[in-house]
Amino acid sequence: MSALSDLPNVGKVLEDNLRKINIETPEQLRQIGAEEACFRIRMTVDSGACLHMLYGIQGAIEGIPDKFLSDQIKERLRLFYKTL
């Protein structure tokens, strides 16, 4: 089992936020998904969690820096973020 901090885009703040919503492992993060993780963070930990954080979570799940997310993924995430 690897640490959340081993994932791309996961620094101290995001790692702390994920732990506060009971996500302790990369496997748990993949299971929950980026949208649900971001939703939980915004609702319980950080009401100012931004779209960039959502991109970072998705990139962590995919194992890539968020700047390499496809335009389609970014658009899907943008549409989701607008619903928060």
Walk along the chain (84 residues) and give the pLDDT tens digit of each residue: 579 999 999 999 999 999 999 999 999 999 999 999 999 999 999 999 999 999 999 999 999 999 999 999 999 999 999 999
What is the reported pTM? 0.94
CB atoms within 10 A of CB 28: 15
SS3 of 19-78: the string is HHCCCCCHHHHHHHCHHHHHHHHHHHCCCCCCHHHHHHHHHHHHCCCHHHCCHHHHHHHH
pLDDT for res 2: 72
